[in-house]
Amino acid sequence: EDQVTQSPEALRLQEGESSSLNCSYTVSGLRGLFWYRQDPGKGPEFLFTLYSAGEEKEKERLKATLTKKESFLHITAPKPEDSATYLCAGASNDYKLSFGAGTTVTVRA
């Protein structure tokens, strides 16, 4: 059975305090590792897709990396508007997504 585990559950940061979120995965025939941002009461917003170990992608203050067992989302010098729940998901060989429980990030000014 496919499994995606995220840690920590919650992260409280001071503005400008960089940190990393972890996503461990066991997904059969991984077709891609996805990162989404979800604001309260909203649907997930696509951030990145990573396909192979060693791949990195960046968008503004966010950078996602991938190994054979884990993915990391690095937040550099976060701002309050980066506060959200960040979801990791693995696509299996039938392209269905298995989601982790998410990491809720709170950035204080």
Residue 90 sits in the site that holds another protein (CB under 8 A): no
Q: Is 42 in the site for another protein (CB under 8 A)?
A: yes
3-state secondary structure of 1: coil
Least Å distance, CB 47 to another protein, is 12
Span near another protein by CB under 8 A; candidates 14-22, 38-46, 55-63, 66-74:
38-46
- Per CB under 8 A, the list member of 14, 46, 54, 109 interacting with another protein is 46
78: closest CA among 88, 87, 86, 66? 86
Tokens of 39: 């604001």
Task: Compute the least distance from the CB of residue 12 to another protein, in Å.
Answer: 16
Instruction: For residue 35, give the nearest of 45, 24, 27, 47 by alpha carbon.
Output: 47
Among the listed residues 19, 22, 24, 49, the single contact to another protein using CB under 8 A? 49
Residue 64 sits in the site that holds another protein (CB under 8 A): no
Work out the burial of residue 105: count CB atoms within 10 Å of its CB; fewer than 13 is exposed, 13-18 middle, 19 or more buried: buried
| C-beta of residue 89 within 8 angstroms of C-beta of residue 37 | no
Residues that bind another protein (CB under 8 A): 31-32, 36, 41-46, 49, 87, 89, 91, 95-102
